[in-house]
Amino acid sequence: MVAWIGVVKINITQEQKNTNSVIGIKGQAIDIIGSVLAGNVYQVKNTSGNKIVWENSAADLIENGTIDGQKFFQLYKNRGIVLNQSIFQKESTTPIIFSVKNSSETLNTLWALGLAQESPILSQGPMMDPRYGGADRFASTGGWTLSVGSAMNHYGKHSMLSVTSEQQEQVLRVAQHIYRPCCDNPTSFPDCNHGMAMLGLLEILAKSGVTDQQMYDAALAANVSWFPDNYATIGMYLQSHPQEAAQLTSKDILGAQFSSSSGFVQIAQQVQDKPQGGSYCGA
Decide: 116 and 156 in contact? Cβ < 8 Å. Answer: yes
Minimal CA–CA distance to 100: which of 227, 215, 8, 12? 227
At 60, the pLDDT band (50, 70, 90 cuts) reads very high
Same domain, 61 and 37: no
Whole-number pLDDT of residue 9: 38
Is the pLDDT at 184 greater than 70? The verdict is yes
Is the pLDDT at 278 greater than 70? The verdict is no
Residue 206, in any domain of the structure? yes
Is the pLDDT at 230 greater than 60? The verdict is yes
Q: Using one digit for the tens of pLDDT, what is the confidence trace for 235-249? A: 999 989 988 898 999
pTM over 0.85: yes
Whole-number pLDDT of residue 223: 98
Residue 101, in any domain of the structure? yes
Residue 84, in any domain of the structure? yes
Same domain, 250 and 192: no
Whole-number pLDDT of residue 246: 87
Q: Using one digit for the tens of pLDDT, what is the confidence trace for 93-116? A: 999 999 999 999 999 999 999 999
Is the pLDDT at 120 greater than 90? The verdict is yes
At 197, the pLDDT band (50, 70, 90 cuts) reads very high
Same domain, 61 and 175: yes
Kindly give, in sequence order, each residue whose CB lies less than 8 Å from that of residue 265, ignoring residues fewer than 6 positions away: none
Same domain, 132 and 233: no
Is the pLDDT at 80 greater than 70? The verdict is yes
Q: If you average pLDDT over residues 79-104, what whole number do you get?
A: 95
**Mean pLDDT computed over every residue of the chain:** 89
Whole-number pLDDT of residue 21: 46
Same domain, 235 and 99: no
Three-state SS for the chain is CEEEECCEEEECCHHHHHHCCCCCCCCHHHHHHHHHHCCCCEECECCCCCECEEECHHHHHHHCCCCCHHHHHHHHHHHCCCCCHHHHCCCEEEECEECCCCHHHHHHHHHHHHHHECCHHHHHCHHHCHHHCCHHHCHHHHCCCCCCCCHHHCCCCECCCCCCHHHHHHHHHHHCCCCCCCCCCCCCCCCCHHHHHHHHHHHHHHHCCCCHHHHHHHHHHHHHHHCHHHHHHHHHHHHCCHHHHHHCCHHHHHCHHHHCHHHHHHHHCCCCCCCCCCCCCCC
Same domain, 253 and 131: no
Q: What percent of the chain has pLDDT over 90?
A: 82
Residue 140, in any domain of the structure? yes
Same domain, 70 and 33: no
Residue 207, in any domain of the structure? yes
At 272, the pLDDT band (50, 70, 90 cuts) reads confident
Same domain, 129 and 155: yes
Residue 123, in any domain of the structure? yes
At 14, the pLDDT band (50, 70, 90 cuts) reads very low
Same domain, 66 and 161: yes
Is the pLDDT at 22 greater than 90? The verdict is no
Same domain, 214 and 235: no
Domain count, the chain: 2
Domain end (from 194, 224, 254): 224
Whole-number pLDDT of residue 28: 81
* Containing structural domain, residue 243: 2-43+229-268
Is the pLDDT at 282 greater than 60? The verdict is no
Greater pLDDT, 27 or 97: 97
Is the pLDDT at 224 greater than 70? The verdict is yes
Is the pLDDT at 279 greater than 70? The verdict is no
Residue 139, in any domain of the structure? yes
Same domain, 146 and 219: yes
Burial class (CB in 10 A: 0-12, 13-18, 19+), 248: buried
Same domain, 101 and 206: yes
Q: What percent of the chain has pLDDT over 70?
A: 87
Residue 281, in any domain of the structure? no
